[in-house]
Structure 1
Amino acid sequence: MASNTTKEVLHDLSPFLVVYTDGNIERFLVTSNLLPSPEDPTTGVASKDVIVISPEVKARLFLPKLTDSNQRLPVLVYYHGGGFIVDSPYCLNFHRYMNLLAAEAKALIISVEYRLAPEHLLPIAYEDSWTALQWVASHVIANASIEKDPWVVKHGDFGHLYIGGDSAGGNIAHNIVLRAGVEPLLGDVKILGLFLSCPYFWGSKPVGSQSKEDLTGFAYKAWMCVYPSAAGKDAFTPGGIRYVESAKKSGWNGEVQLVVVDGEYHEFHVNDPYTKKAKDLIKKLASFISR
């Protein structure tokens, strides 16, 4: 049988993966996963894994140190980045980032594991993410037909429910909130706030400082791979700015804040959360969640 090097390539997303025309997918970058911990040595945050719907949708929960055993905390449902093709709540960067954010915000975080493309093309990640959010919301229903998680039941303050995500997760969070606007959450739970970090939005025309070349680079190729039916130093920044401007012009009466961190790369606060700029951004996000 011919080797992969002689097969016709459909999508080349090196160094992450290659998709061949015969349907085979070759992954090159495999991230190592971390186990949950009853107490993170740096932050004191406890973590554990849960199954939302076996085996497709899972999540890792992060619970900060409590000042009271019955303490209620803001709830953040978080969607990780990775271009829809890599990473998970269990890999080093996102596990570490969630520990830091949970500790700073004093919030209960549910970090969602959704199925990845190209094995599972969009909109499957959107559907999995919505399923996870509905699972979280169902904890307010007394006779809900789910296995409730004791952390969520005992410590979740559903009057302070937030949605967040970075990169592809920011794209997911945006779509989730739009859906929640037309399809009620279980128990009539309401979303109090949303934050998008370095969101992965893409289009057919340049936005702001983007060039025509930006629209044919890796981000474009990844989008065509994960959703083939859809047409600073961070190339996604102009799209994020346009998002905020559009929200302000839409007639929505809520509060909108734009935070631009100059001179930093995409997802800098996840990849190295200990720099001053990363710490400052984490503090801003934590302040938003915990107010």
Structure 2
Amino acid sequence: MASESKEVQIDFSPYLKVYKDGTVERFFGSPYVPPSLDDPITHISTKDIKISSNVSARIYLPKITDPNKKLPVLVYYHGGAFCLESALSLFDYQYLNQLVPRANALTVSVEYRLAPEHPLPAAYEDSWAALQWVASHSVKGSEIDSEKEPWLINYGDFSRVYLGGGSAGGNIVHNMAMKAGEEGLIGGVKILGAFMSCPCFCDSKITKESDFGSARLWGFVYPSAPGGTNNPLINPFADGVPNLAKIGCQKIFVSCAEKDELRDVDLSYVEALKKSGWNGELELVDVEGEDHCFEAFDPSTEKAQNLISKIASFIKG
């Protein structure tokens, strides 16, 4: 039966529709791009790997000029409102092909399950599993190493682990850093830094709900969330949520954009971090005249290039 004749259950146009027969039709997103060895322009090599039955990833390896030099490890979470896009998509591929060579970072871009087929907390569970899998490569042993990803074993510096992501991916970064601070990572790995671009948070005192606003979105991607939009996963300001001082990283980079409807709540997040008692390094970049995650949609613009360079510098230290 053609989608035009199906009965719509949830309409999130122009992004997606959910039909009463359970099918999901996505209108927003970029096409998948295959991995490649030694990109002719960036000289980055990419490959897709399976982490578990639910989780996969695309790994980006910068051009190796010194095989004895270890690289910082970036675990990256793509955006897309928890229900769109992919680690294998053109948007992510173009963006990371700009960031990876500048940061000279071995990058694991996580492919997590999407709502509504897999409602939250599935994406958080997958993201945590991927992070712990990356950390497990810090544990040495000949039998263990034979079962691991060789790029991580051979080139990863686990004293320089970073998290990064935009929009929903930025939200995931925050929550993975909080969980790492509370529970720890395999091998005692510590997260050195985390960057979040236009991270998706919700606070009824700040956020204005729109047709695809964060409050309505949250109810769609996590309908059983305890506390609704006061759940700490989406609202780090709610009463009774864990203190932000527990966030498990030494430095944080937050970027926001003037025209983004999430800008106010993102600025409030930065202020909350400052007041929390967390004693790490905090950097904020507020880009004039741009909208939500502009650098991911078109990384070729001057402002996107400037932001990507700043993130790369943050990772390189």
Indicate conservation of the 8 Å contact 1:167/1:267, yes or no.
Answer: yes
1:48 aligned residue: 47
Q: Distance in 2 between matches of 1:6 and 1:78?
A: 37
Q: Percent identity?
A: 53
Q: Distance in 2 between matches of 1:146 and 1:242?
A: 46
1:112 aligned residue: 110
1:196 aligned residue: 196
Indicate conservation of the 8 Å contact 2:165/2:172, yes or no.
Answer: yes
Q: How many Å apart are 1:4 and its aligned residue?
A: 5.7
Q: How many Å apart are 1:24 and its aligned residue?
A: 3.5
Q: Distance in 2 between matches of 1:193 and 1:29?
A: 31
Question: What is the one-letter code of the residue matched to 1:256?
Answer: L
Deviations 1:64-101 (A, max 9, x none): 11221222001110000011111111111101111111
Q: Distance in 1 between matches of 2:174 and 2:5?
A: 38
Q: How many residues are paired up?
A: 283
Q: Distance in 2 between matches of 1:145 and 1:63?
A: 18
Larger displacement relative to structure 2 (135-144 or 215-224): 215-224
Q: Distance in 2 between matches of 1:196 and 1:77?
A: 12
Q: Distance in 1 between matches of 2:3 and 2:61?
A: 47
Confirm whether residue 217 of structure 1 aligns to residue 211 of structure 2: yes
Q: How many Å apart are 1:18 and its aligned residue?
A: 1.1
Change (3 A) 1:168 1:151: same
Indicate conservation of the 8 Å contact 2:30/2:91, yes or no.
Answer: no
Q: TM-score, normalised by structure 1?
A: 0.92
2:281 aligned residue: 255
Q: TM-score, normalised by structure 2?
A: 0.84
Q: Aligned to 1:60, what secondary structure does the other structure show?
A: strand
Indicate conservation of the 8 Å contact 2:6/2:19, yes or no.
Answer: no
Unaligned stretches of 5+ residues in structure 1 = none
Question: What is the one-letter code of the residue matched to 1:152?
Answer: L
1:20 aligned residue: 19
Indicate conservation of the 8 Å contact 1:40/1:99, yes or no.
Answer: no
1:94 aligned residue: 92
Indicate conservation of the 8 Å contact 1:114/1:129, yes or no.
Answer: yes
Question: What is the one-letter code of the residue matched to 1:245?
Answer: E
Q: Distance in 2 between matches of 1:258 and 1:27?
A: 33
Q: Aligned to 1:126, what secondary structure does the other structure show?
A: helix
RMSD of the TM alignment (CA)?
1.9
Larger displacement relative to structure 2 (226-235 or 97-106): 226-235
